[in-house]
Amino acid sequence: MGEYVWFHDVSWHASYAVYFFIIGILAGLSFMSYGSWITPALRPLREKAAYGSMVLLALGGMLLIADLSQPLRFFNVLNPAYLNFTSPLAWGSLNIVAFGVCSVLYILELRKAEDSARGKMLALVTALLALGLPVYTGYDLSVHQSRPVWNTPIMPVLFVALAVASGSAVGALLTGGNDAAQKVLREYMLWSTGAVGVILVSILGTTNYGGSAQELTFIIMTTGTMGMIFIGVGLLAGTAAPVALLLAAHVREQQTGLMLSAVLILVGSAALRYALLMGPQQLQTLY
Amino acid sequence: MSEELRVSPIETRGIAGKRRFAMVVDTRRCIGCMACQVACKAEYDTPLGVNRTWVPYKVVGKYPNVKRQFLPRLCNHCDDAPCVRNCPVDATFKVEDGGFILQRYERCIGCRSCMAACPYNARFMLPSHRTYTPITNVVDKCTFCFHRVSQNLVPACVQTCIGRSRVFGDINDPNSEVSYLVANNPTQVLRPEEGTKPHVFYIGADRNATEFGRDAYHKPEVMEPERSAFKRNFKI
Amino acid sequence: MEMPKVTRRTFLKVSATTGAAAAAAPRLLNAMEHELGGKDFGPVTGAERKAIPINCHVCNIQDGAIAYVENDRVVKLEGNPEHVSTRGRLCAKGNAGMWYSYDPDRILYPLKRVGARGEGKWKRITWDEALTELAGKLDAALKEDPNTIMLKYGRNRSGGAVDRFMKTLGSATVVNHTSVCESSKKIGMEPTWGPDIETPDFANAKYVLNFGSNILEAAYFHNPLSQRVTEGRVDNHMKIVTFDVRLSNTAGFSDEWVPVHPGTDGAVALAMGHVILRDDLQDSEFIETWTNVTVKELKEHYKQFTPEWASKISGVPAETIERIATEFATTKPATLFTYRGPAKHLYGSYNERSCMMLPIMTGNVEKKGGYCLPRGMGWPQPSPEPGKPKKDSYLAHPTEYPLAGHKVSHLVPFWIADGKQKINVYFTYQDNPVYTNPGAMAVWGKLFKDEKLIPYLVSMSPFMGEETALADLILPDCPYLERWEPESMPNSLWPWLGIRQPVHKSLGESRENRIMMRDIIWKLDPDGKRGMKQFWNFKDGEDYMRHHFDNVPGLKEAGGLNFLKKHGVWPIYGKLNPKTGKVSDKTGREIKAEYGLFKKELSAADMAGTATDKNGVITKNGKAIGVKRNGKNYVGFPTGNRIINVRVDKWAEYGFNPMPTFKRIPWHEAMKDDELVMVTFKLNVMKQSRTAAVKWLAEIAHSNPMWIGTSTAAKLGIKTGDLVRVESKVGHLVTKAYVTEGIHPRTVAIPTGFGHWEYGRLATLKLKDKKSEASHGADDPDLNNVWWDDKGVHPNNIIPVVADPIGGSQGWYDTVVKVTKAGPNDKYGDSQGDWEKHYAAYKETMRYAYTGDLHRKMHPEMASWAGPGSVKHHEGGGH
Ligand SMILES: Nc1nc2c(c(=O)[nH]1)N[C@H]1C(S)=C(S)[C@@H](COP(=O)(O)OP(=O)(O)OC[C@H]3O[C@@H](n4cnc5c(=O)[nH]c(N)nc54)[C@H](O)[C@@H]3O)O[C@H]1N2
Ligand SMILES: Nc1nc2c(c(=O)[nH]1)N[C@H]1C(S)=C(S)[C@@H](COP(=O)(O)OP(=O)(O)OC[C@H]3O[C@@H](n4cnc5c(=O)[nH]c(N)nc54)[C@H](O)[C@@H]3O)O[C@H]1N2
Ligand code: SF4
Ligand code: SF4
Ligand code: SF4
Ligand code: SF4
Ligand code: SF4
Ligand SMILES: [Mo]
């Protein structure tokens, strides 16, 4: 009104954040499942985590494909004549497909035999491919060098940390009542959430000291609704609070504190993914 | 140093025997008439809500010393285009002869990675309704009017430019008007820090208008109702 | 890293959609600059499109254009590169003109009203039913008095057909819209130097004064003149200074924007003249030779207009006036341009004359880079021609406004209500006073709803405009892309003739206007016995055009109409040079304009049989054809005495000041602190009432918040986006505020073109509504993408009528308003005008007419005038 303006849509909408969230959890669960081969305390999680990650993969895959404007062309990504290896999405698609195949083999193996060497091997491969998922999603953002926050090289690491945190949080919820497992998971949650916190603080700090685009993105991410989601829900309630709770849970009533932290971590990591995805896109809609 | 170090193997600027099309936008001549924007809409039957080119403006200064600045915008046909690198299926590509960055609509999966990659917001998703063109639900962008240029016509926006603010041509040809303008005027490109090597050159653009400024965030509230209407109502 | 080469090597590998175009593309010739148009190819198909030269008529500037047709649909419009004024370019509106044709709500069949007037209930009838009914009404009216048949048009590019129609009926009741347009500018100019407009040579000027014209967005002639303004400013380093009450795009582009208080340009211009004459910077030789005053008289007259005096009235600092006056007078060549800013006031004619005095006294007239006469071309009318109607019509030539040669159309509803003239049948053609006039719905809506005052209302229109919505019968005319029309406009320094021709068969049962009028006449006079049919002996539109163009000397040899059908324009002065964007002749050099038209000497043949009077006026057969100066016989200026009349004696006969002068608007002088002046203005992408349904334009501009200055808004506690209540003496409206640095603090401004309550579903943003029975156009799926939901608020209901007692022009920019934050009961979009109050405003404004009681009070300097009784009755009209 009054002035001629033009408006741009953001590139990626909130559904993509849900996808990030799901893929993070499923990667985390795959780590847990593999962890059960090494840490006996996690043994009760092995099947649950493997199945859970399969279900989530199906869900996430569907979400991802539905989010394409041309869902039926998803197979173009797998067409070797089309594949463009400079795109993280191309790698990501291969990674997802490979992960899916390995997950199926792994589950088949789990149904066939207990504790087989092949099972352990498949668990390892699946977990490695699972690691690729948060790495590629993080990479998917960080290749966008023109977007403040996204363009930090630490994005993949942040996404791995988030995956471990949310995976172990889901693990903690799945293993309710099992003290041994919970003890291990507490460590995972504590360290990964701590790492998330440290990474975010350093990203925020450097962002605020960049040029005007960075500075404006900082403002966008720390004020208004976006600030509530990012700082309030993501950083304070979803990162700082669970870390504090977990530290405290060591001495006091383990169970509730732990479960509460797990829930907080999940809520927080969802909020963080939303804010990290949407926040840095706002500036360009104004430009 | 005799050997030129080139980052991208498909760069076409300054390479003998190759054309490299470019546009010069002389903002001193831009009167903000919007003819370019509408001509481009007509040329491509571009749907409402999206644009291949657009002309934003700013009112700067304090009464009575006030000015109006226009900054016509379009795809920069970057020589080092992040959108190309970021497309998983090679649907976005560069035409080596001329430097056009184009789309293969029938291949595009609509993942929007190229939109996220473009530092200039030059790409958009086509909505599912159009007047008569059957291409929908894929990403689209300015083509530098490839189909006209290859018929030896200037792009549609250049053709109609009332202020003759937009000039188009082969910047590898030292005799072209764009070469002349770029050689004889101080020019700038948008967001050079991105290293994309844009091929839309601006003469007389105020750096305060071309850079993100604080007012990009403290947008004149004047835009707010419009912006929220757009967010609310424009559904792809 | 090596990029995989895959398929990106050459464009021949570009696939399917872009590929089709690419495959057809020949290899580019190296180092060849690209052509600036004249051809077009489909981006998807790659196929060349059919090119049909036409003349743009989205607005009234008349740019030469080409329509490109694919599958019988116009898909692209482009400027005609052979057109000397347009030079291949079109403005935003011109580029979108096909949406007039493809408006989904276009009316394509004759419609008869079935509900109450304005209720929106229509019945589709056949042409024969429509014509029979209409002929019945016309017959009855003709029996009573042909003058009871009235036709009012807005745009009329029929090249004489509309007048022929009314003359055929024998009615003189023909009214146009010019009094709401720029008529006081015309009336200021015509008696002074002949034509009603100037052609400033911007491309070659070094200094430009622009008084209240928004060339870069509107004005006559936006597109061609804007091209020359940018050329002058960037290539020729000219300086341009714009006087406007707000920061238009033109003001924002100018080297200097000088904000003025509305209605005071005349004072500023006079003060500049004062400085020039005081400092002896005038061109004395030009004044003495080519005007009807001496330098001494002029100096004497201008003494009173000091910069301090003007500064107090206009708010422009005296130093600024001094500086700009000196710069203007000492920089050569210099020119001046005005449009509606100075003219649309109570004494707009005085303002215009004061402005045009500046290039005249500095001798910049008809010089390269100066202030040039318009260059136009005419064409013959088909014969036989109907004669003049027997009786004159009051509405067409109101006696109180004898100098208003372009009529006083905005007072017509009051005169009809007062019973000045009886109307039986009212035709409306390309005119929408219900929206575009002062009082809008409150005045014209009231008139048209009154079946006693307007018993039968016929609209010839393809669109359901606000006026058409009140009609009894709608005859579907064709939009410009489906009409045959002759064209010429003085929009550059080169004269030209052009045509409009249909690009495809007219859609539905629409008939172009001249054919529709022919059919009405044929119905009235089927066998020619009434003597009407003889004037309408045309097979079709093309046949009619042949009568215009097949016998124009020069064009005839080139092929007459056939030449125009092929090229759209004649003559073709040269080729558009892609390197320069200018027209080059055969040698590759830019074509040169002819200057000094008034100094053309009369040939011996011209002189044969002439007489020269003591003032040097050369007459032949009772008509002045030239003037003798310094022993030479020149053609001079197209005025009665062939020179420039700085003193217009005819004005003095009616008690008006014959010399350049200024009158302050009395109610502006009496303005209280909390009152502001409300002006309106045009935006580059909107064309009065007719573009709101053009989607590409509506997308760019669809709402019209009220501009208000930062300091004024702060005082009132108003922020951008706030609802405000704007109250004038005739009504009030509620709209949104836009707070800006770019406006005079005593002014608020609302752009026109928005806030429609008719004109189809897009203009009214009722896209979810079912198509009405009146709409027959093809649906456009793209309208699903409309994202804006604000259609704006139209200001005209609250603008009272004001009539310039000289020029008859509406004082659009004289409205005093009070602005407050909206109250709890105010709703966005409220707009109320009151007939009684508008009627009172009409009575009030007629007190300024030469017959009114305030006339003398406003002209103390004319004390010796003997009063209205002293005026011998002149026939109205004139110039
Ligand atoms: N885009 C577009 N172009 C058009 C048209 C259109 O509707 N849209 N219409 C065509 C027609 S019919 C016409 S008549 C012309 C009109 O063309 P213009 O006269 O150029 O345009 P307007 O907007 O009517 O008024 C010109 C300016 O006068 C200013 N103004 C108001 N009061 C004053 C005053 O007291 N002094 C001064 N100095 N300025 C003042 C307004 O702010 C505005 O910027 O445009 C033609 N071209
Ligand atoms: N507030 C305010 N009001 C203004 C102005 C302003 O600046 N501010 N400007 C004034 C000026 S300068 C002018 S000239 C007038 C113009 O006033 P008008 O002449 O009344 O307005 P237009 O909008 O040009 O068109 C009038 C009608 O023509 C019809 N029409 C459109 N195309 C066609 C066609 O192809 N064929 C036929 N038969 N009919 C068609 C439509 O119904 C349209 O409503 O408005 C004046 N009104
Ligand atoms: S401007 Fe954007 S879309 Fe255009 S080439 Fe550069 S990165 Fe790609
Ligand atoms: S949206 Fe289309 S063009 Fe863009 S990156 Fe995805 S596949 Fe490529
Ligand atoms: S070059 Fe062509 S596609 Fe690009 S903005 Fe101009 S007209 Fe549109
Ligand atoms: S057409 Fe030319 S002058 Fe007009 S807005 Fe576009 S770039 Fe500016
Ligand atoms: S100014 Fe624009 S709308 Fe008017 S005639 Fe010219 S191109 Fe057409
Ligand atoms: Mo007008």
H/E segment holding residue C838: helix C835-846
The whole-angstrom separation of Cα C293 and Cα C403 is: 22
Do the beta carbons of residue C435 and residue C76 sit within 8 Å? no
ipTM: 0.95
Inter-chain touch C703–A81, beta carbons under 8 Å: no
Ligand lying closest to the C-alpha of residue B108:
4
Residue A59: CB atoms within 10 A of its CB come to: 15
Q: Which residues contact A222 (CB under 8 A, 6 or more apart)?
A: A204, A230, A231
Inter-chain touch A83–B88, beta carbons under 8 Å: yes
Is C177 among the domain residues? yes
Is C57 among the domain residues? yes
Amino acid at C547: H
Q: Is the pLDDT of residue A137 over 60?
A: yes
Give pLDDT, residue B9. 64
Is C338 among the domain residues? yes
Rounded (10°) angle between helices A88-112 and A15-38: 40
Two structure tokens written together for B70: 């226009």
What average pLDDT score do residues C17-43 get? 61
One domain, residues C818 and C687: yes
Answer with the residue of higher pLDDT: C186 or B191.
C186
Give pLDDT, residue C30. 37
Give pLDDT, residue A85. 87
User: Which pLDDT band holds residue C15 (cuts at 50, 70, 90)?
Assistant: very low
What average pLDDT score do residues A180-189 get? 92
Task: Give B34 Cα–ligand 5 centroid separation in angstroms.
Answer: 13
Pocket test for ligand 2, best of C513, C688, C706, C793 (most atoms within 8 A of CB): C688
Is C874 among the domain residues? no
Is C587 among the domain residues? no
What average pLDDT score do residues A49-73 get? 92
Give pLDDT, residue B170. 95
Give pLDDT, residue C29. 37
Ligand lying closest to the C-alpha of residue B74:
5
Q: Is the pLDDT of residue C27 over 50?
A: no
DSSP secondary structure string for all residues of C594-652:
---GGGPBPPHHHHTT-EE-TT-EEEETTEEEEEEETTEEE---SSTTSSB-SS-HHHH
CATH number of the domain residue C352 falls in: 3.40.228.10
Inter-chain touch B121–A284, beta carbons under 8 Å: yes
Q: State chain C's mean pLDDT as an integer.
A: 94
Q: Where are the beta strands (DSSP E) in C354-476?
A: 371-372, 425-429, 456-460, 473-475
Percent of chain C with pLDDT over 70: 96
Amino acid at B22: A
What average pLDDT score do residues C235-239 get? 97
Distance of CA C143 to the CA centre of its chain: 36
For residue C375, is it left (φ>0), alpha (ψ between -120 and 50) or beta? Answer: beta
Percent of chain C with pLDDT over 90: 94
Cα atoms in the 13 Å half-sphere on the side-chain side of A167: 38
Task: Give B31 Cα–ligand 8 centroid separation in angstroms.
Answer: 21
Domain boundary among C58, C74, C102: C102
The whole-angstrom separation of Cα C814 and Cα C799 is: 9
One domain, residues C65 and C130: no
The whole-angstrom separation of Cα A167 and Cα A24 is: 7
One domain, residues C428 and C465: yes
Ligand lying closest to the C-alpha of residue C219:
1
**Which chains border B (3 or more CB–CB pairs < 8 Å)?**
A, C
What average pLDDT score do residues C101-128 get? 97
User: Domain total for chain C?
Assistant: 4
Answer with the residue of higher pLDDT: C414 or A64.
C414
Q: Is the pLDDT of residue C845 over 60?
A: yes
Q: What is the pLDDT of residues C421-460, one digit of tens each?
A: 999 999 999 999 999 999 999 999 999 999 999 999 999 9
**Extents of the domains making up chain B:** 21-230
One domain, residues C323 and C398: no
Which residues of chain B have a CB within 8 Å of the CB of A69?
A: 109-110, 112, 125, 137-139, 236
Is C759 among the domain residues? yes
Q: Tell me the shortest Cα–Cα distance from B192 to chain C, in angstroms.
A: 22
User: Which pLDDT band holds residue C2 (cuts at 50, 70, 90)?
Assistant: very low
User: Which pLDDT band holds residue C20 (cuts at 50, 70, 90)?
Assistant: very low
Q: What is the pLDDT of residues C343-354, one digit of tens each?
A: 999 999 999 999
What average pLDDT score do residues C166-193 get? 98
Give pLDDT, residue B227. 84
Burial of C830 (0-12, 13-18, 19+ CB in 10 A): middle
CB contact burial B21-43 (16+ within 10 A = b; e otherwise): bbbbbbbebbbbbbbbbbbbbbb
**Which chains border A (3 or more CB–CB pairs < 8 Å)?**
B, C
One domain, residues C698 and C793: yes
pLDDT digits (tens), chain B, 236 positions: 334 444 566 778 888 888 999 999 999 999 999 999 999 999 999 999 999 999 988 888 999 999 998 999 999 999 999 999 999 999 999 998 899 999 999 999 999 999 999 999 999 999 999 999 999 999 999 999 999 999 999 999 999 999 999 999 999 999 899 999 999 999 999 999 899 999 999 999 977 777 776 665 555 566 778 888 998 999 87
Give pLDDT, residue A284. 81
Domain boundary among C310, C344, C372: C372
Do the beta carbons of residue C682 and residue C667 sit within 8 Å? no
User: Which pLDDT band holds residue C22 (cuts at 50, 70, 90)?
Assistant: very low
Q: For ligand 7, say whether the CB of C222 is within 6 Å of any of its atoms.
A: yes
Inter-chain touch A84–C700, beta carbons under 8 Å: no
What average pLDDT score do residues C471-480 get? 98
Give pLDDT, residue A129. 97
CA proximity to B158, closest of B173, B177, B135, B183: B177
Cα separations in angstroms, C406 against B46, C2, C337, C679, C842? 43, 74, 21, 23, 18
- Interface contact C380, partner B, CB < 8 A: no
Give pLDDT, residue C405. 97
Domain boundary among C102, C119, C136: C102
pTM of the predicted structure, to 2 decimals: 0.95
Question: To which CATH superfamily is domain A14-286 assigned?
Answer: Formate dehydrogenase/DMSO reductase domain (1.20.1630.10)
**Containing structural domain, residue C82:** 8-102
One domain, residues C363 and C392: no
Is C546 among the domain residues? yes
The whole-angstrom separation of Cα B164 and Cα C516 is: 41
Cα atoms in the 13 Å half-sphere on the side-chain side of C806: 35
User: Which pLDDT band holds residue C23 (cuts at 50, 70, 90)?
Assistant: very low
Is C278 among the domain residues? yes
**Which of A256-260, C304-308, C845-849 is predicted least confidently?**
A256-260
One domain, residues C166 and C214: no
Answer with the residue of higher pLDDT: A3 or C93.
C93
Tell me the fold of B21-230.
Alpha-Beta Plaits (3.30.70)
- Interface contact C785, partner B, CB < 8 A: yes
Inter-chain touch A85–C705, beta carbons under 8 Å: no
Which residues of chain B have a CB within 8 Å of the CB of C704?
A: none
**Extents of the domains making up chain A:** 14-286
Closest residue in A to B236 (Cα) is A69
